[in-house]
Amino acid sequence: MHDIRFAVLGTGGIGRRALDVSREKPGLLPVAACDRNGIAIDHDGLDVDELLAATEGNVASDGGAAVKQHGAGAGVVASAQARSTETPIEDIIAESDAIDAVLIALPNLEHDFIPRVAERFTGAGYEGVLVDVLKRSRVIGMLDGRADSFEESGITFVCGAGATPGFLTGAAALAAQSFVEIESVEIHWGVGLKSGYEDNRGTVREDIAHLPGYDIETARELTDEEIEGIVDEHDGVIEFEEMEHADDVLLERAGICDADDVSVGGILDVRSDEKPTTTTVSVTGRTFDGEHATNTFELGDETSMAANVNGPALGYLKAGVQRNRAGEYGVFGPADLMPEF
Ligand SMILES: NC(=O)c1ccc[n+]([C@@H]2O[C@H](COP(=O)([O-])OP(=O)(O)OC[C@H]3O[C@@H](n4cnc5c(N)ncnc54)[C@H](O)[C@@H]3O)[C@@H](O)[C@H]2O)c1
């Protein structure tokens, strides 16, 4: 039985794959999807096969010149189920009475963009679940600052619910259970994206903002050619250290450790699907009986970014719906919930 009707905001690299993964997750019925230029809605369930086929290689991200366009229109409007609109998010909000949960797979190149999108749902009196896969630590505080209005509206907001933060934050919370004091949490990720920048625009651009000499503002202004240039300079393999990933504040928020004890780094290969390094979460701490040890959680190298972001995002969405139906509203992080399968 499909008892969770959900929408996806953003049908780029992440949003399209969320729809794809949802086909194999029991209980989920995708009823709406939008990108910057279009919207597809069918309350009986979208035809995901058709939508994915129509948007393959046609993931209109920002209307820029380099967007791949293989169909009649750019992005979601290439689907027979979609129509073009200048107000995609409002159009979904207008139908949100019949939507249980919304996965926000939008870029996060302005820190307050996702909080502002959430405000639009609150303003319309939405009662349901919002889930995002945002990365930046500072955005969590902005969402926490709106917790009262989410509670008043009847919204259960699950924030930072992708891979990192998200899945790996939850793994750290579990790995911490052997200890009574946590000394450090080290998250080191490896991602191979043969589909490259073209199919993962938000992800790659936002990661570049973590490189020395860049920030979110400068990354936002880069042209597609400049991004391709940075990728070329690194021969397609870019290494990141001390990233501002919200795993730190989300673990602190859950009472597990101080944000300062958490470090996140990783290696992104934009030219190969093979991971350049194994993704690990290492939690070091002291046990009640005085031992020091490190518990390590490791992902299989064959698991793709798409699997590790979207499986958990939809799993947390399901957990959020359960909370929402039990009348629990406000802001939840991935260390506060166990994702459902
Ligand atoms: N937490 C994690 O583990 C994790 C991992 C990967 C990506 N992400 C995040 O996921 C997000 C999406 O990444 P992506 O690679 O899919 O990006 P993308 O650029 O490929 O796709 C973004 C989509 O959002 C749409 N969009 C942009 N502005 C819009 C607007 N105003 N209204 C409606 N639609 C709009 C675009 O048209 C596009 O469909 C990024 O913020 C990225 O950092 C998180």
- Catalytic, 135? Answer yes
Quote ipTM for the complex: 0.98
Reply yes or no on whether 25 is catalytic.
Answer: no
- Residues at the annotated binding site for NAD(+)? 10-14, 202-203
- 46-80 per-position pLDDT tens digit: 999 999 999 887 655 554 433 445 444 678 999 99
pLDDT of 189? 98
User: Ligand 1, closest atom to CA 16?
Assistant: 16
Cα–Cα distance, 139 to 110 (Å, whole number)? 10
Residues 6+ apart with CB under 8 A from 176: 182, 185, 256, 257, 283, 285, 295
| Contact of 65 with 92, CB cutoff 8 Å | no
Per residue in 218-273, pLDDT tens?
999 999 999 999 999 999 999 999 999 999 999 999 999 999 999 999 999 999 98
Stretch 96-109: mean pLDDT: 95
Which of 206, 245, 252, 318 is catalytic? The answer is 206
Task: Tell me the pLDDT tens digit for each residue of 161-215.
Answer: 999 999 999 999 999 999 999 999 999 999 998 777 777 888 899 999 999 999 9
The pLDDT of residue 60 is 53
How many angstroms does the Cα of residue 209 sit away from the middle of ligand 1?
15
**Cα–Cα dist 210/20, whole Å:** 29
User: Which ligand 1 atom is at minimum distance from the Cα of 135?
Assistant: 1
Architecture per CATH, 4-164+306-332: 3-Layer(aba) Sandwich (3.40)
- Catalytic annotation on 239? no
Ligand 1 atom 1 nearest Cα: 162
Distance, CA 258 to ligand 1 centroid (Å)? 29
Find the length of the chain: 341
Dihedrals φ, ψ of 252, to 5°? -65, -45
Ligand 1: which residue has its CA nearest to atom 17?
202
- Evaluate whether 18 touches 103 at the Cβ level (below 8 Å): yes
CA 236 to chain centre: 23
pLDDT of residue 59: 57
Q: Give me the residue spans of the domains in the chain.
A: 4-164+306-332, 167-301
Closest residue to atom 22 of ligand 1, CA basis: 12
> Ligand 1 atom closest to Cα of 309?
3
* Both tokens assigned to 39: 């919207």
Residue 183 carries which DSSP code? Answer: E
Q: In this structure, are strands 28-34 and 38-41 parallel, antiparallel, or unpaired?
A: antiparallel
